[in-house]
Chains A and B, each alone.
Chain A
Amino acid sequence: MRITVDEAKCCGAGQCVLIAPGVFDQRDEDGIVVLLAETPAPALNEAVREAAAVCPAAAIHLVEP
């Protein structure tokens, strides 16, 4: 799985970080999403899908192989 995030759409809600802390972080200054792992370990796929699903700004895109 490959993740991209759209910083322009992100509203800093931090839902992604709560669900998949190893994959997403937020910038200290403004809370905008920081992608820590573009291709996460398969064990994290489920959490990443959930993060993408609940992101209130639809800022997380997944490309599944």
Chain B
Amino acid sequence: MTCSSAASRESSGPALGFPLPVYVICDMLGVPAGDRDRFAYWSDTLLNLTRYGQAEIDAAQAEFVQYMSGHIAAKRAEPGEDLLSELIAAGDADNGGLSDIQLLATGMGLLVAGHETTANMIGKMVGMLLADRTRWERLLADPSLVRTAVEEALRFDANAGFGMPRYLREESEVGGTVLPRGTTVVCSMAAANRDESVFDGADEMDLSRSPNPHLAFGAGPHSCLGQALARTELQVVLEVLLRRLPSLELAVPAEELQRVEGLAIGGLREIPVRW
């Protein structure tokens, strides 16, 4: 994986764009490199709430379903080294395995769960590290901090999204407030990640923080299935950027970045940088 495949110059001037997460998922699903851009487009239409009209979204969904159905049939006929082939080899619906429709949903689910989240987090991580360039310099001086720096970026991210809705099956107490059984709550991971009673100096970004019991991937049996992959992608991106582009810096004032961050979903899709 080279940096040039993860970085591209965009129209608004030199900028970093990150097709990496969608490439990784395509690879995982055995989708040939030539079809990646279509995947990125389908993913975008499924997730972007404002950019596309309903007709466009419907057309993209139909295309995606058709593509994946053909892809699954091809993998059944000729298995490869990919996740879908493994799932097919594990047996079909009659043998406790997955039916075609479940395989399809799995492929779509992985794309949706793993693309935008990781792409955004890469952008936000780089943005946070460059917004105060002493952070970047600390990493240049000691690249062994990459792992803890990634965890800290996940914790520190103030724009983690809406939060996770949860239904309370029993009465619970949170911060001295009793929540009756049957309540639906939204858990703000971003707020929990700044909890002063859990994290010393919660409002400081400490690149060597350890342990770091943040909730960016949720907790418990349904915590993020892709967290090991997401961590790896974030660590690799950061390592490679530090090595290949040590002079990386923001090309706009950090405040302007914050304005972008303030937008509804998903954080910084674009970080103007120079090196």
Contacts and interface: CB of A to CB of B under 8 A. Distances in A.
A52 B227 CA distance: 15
B211 A53 contact: yes
Interface string A42-56: 000000011011101
A53 B210 contact: yes
A13 B221 contact: yes
Contacts of B212: 53
B221 A54 contact: no
A13 B223 contact: yes
User: What band does the interface of chain B fall in when counting residues whose beta carbon is under 8 Å from A?
Assistant: 10 to 19
A37 interface: no
In terms of DSSP, what is the predominant structure of the interface of chain B?
Answer: loop
A53 B219 CA distance: 12
Contacts of B231: 54
B182 interface: no
Interface residues of A, number: 13
A54 B228 CA distance: 9
B70 interface: no
Contacts of A18: 228
Interface of A: 11-13, 15, 18, 49-50, 52-54, 56-58
Interface of B: 147, 210-213, 217-221, 223, 227-228, 231
Given A11-B220, A49-B210, 16 more contacts: A12-B221, A13-B221, A13-B223, A15-B227, A50-B147, A52-B211, A53-B210, A53-B212, A54-B227, A54-B231, A56-B217, A56-B218, A56-B220, A56-B221, A57-B219, A57-B220
16 contacts: A11-B220, A11-B221, A15-B228, A49-B210, A49-B211, A52-B211, A53-B211, A53-B212, A54-B227, A56-B219, A56-B220, A56-B223, A57-B219, A57-B220, A57-B221, A58-B219
